[in-house]
Amino acid sequence: MARNNAQGEKQHSGASTASISASVSASATIRVRSRPDPFLVVCRCFSIVTSAAVILCISVNILSAIRSFKDGSDIFDGIFRCYAVVIAMFVVVVETEWGFVIKF
């Protein structure tokens, strides 16, 4: 019985080896094209649009803060605009270089 069992295992392992090599050769002939996911492309486009809008917001707030400090009448408005510039800079960094920020 022990001999029959050992011979049966050898035959079984030979069959599994053949099926593994057949699946490897079949998968080697199939080419998989990697195309970008359309959802990720749309998200990247929204990220670029958001970054451009925030950069415009930064420039407008800097100009408004400079005018507020020159006149001297709206100092609190200038201070709030400076905070808006800092927050907008953070948004630009998050939108464009989030992977780089996460590494640290």
| Domain map (residue ranges) of the chain | 2-103
Q: How confident is the model at residue 59 (pLDDT cuts 50, 70, 90)?
A: very high
CA distance 3 to 9: 10
Q: How confident is the model at residue 17 (pLDDT cuts 50, 70, 90)?
A: low
Q: pLDDT at position 67, please?
A: 86
Half-sphere exposure of 40 (CA within 13 A, CB side): 3
Q: What are phi and psi of 34, to 5 degrees?
A: -100, 110
Decide if 92 contacts 55 (C-beta within 8 A). yes
Higher pLDDT, 104 or 51: 51
CA distance 65 to 81: 6
Assigned token pair, 10? 């050898």
CA distance 8 to 44: 58
From 71, 96, 69, select the one nearest 80 (Cα to Cα). 69
pTM across the whole model: 0.56
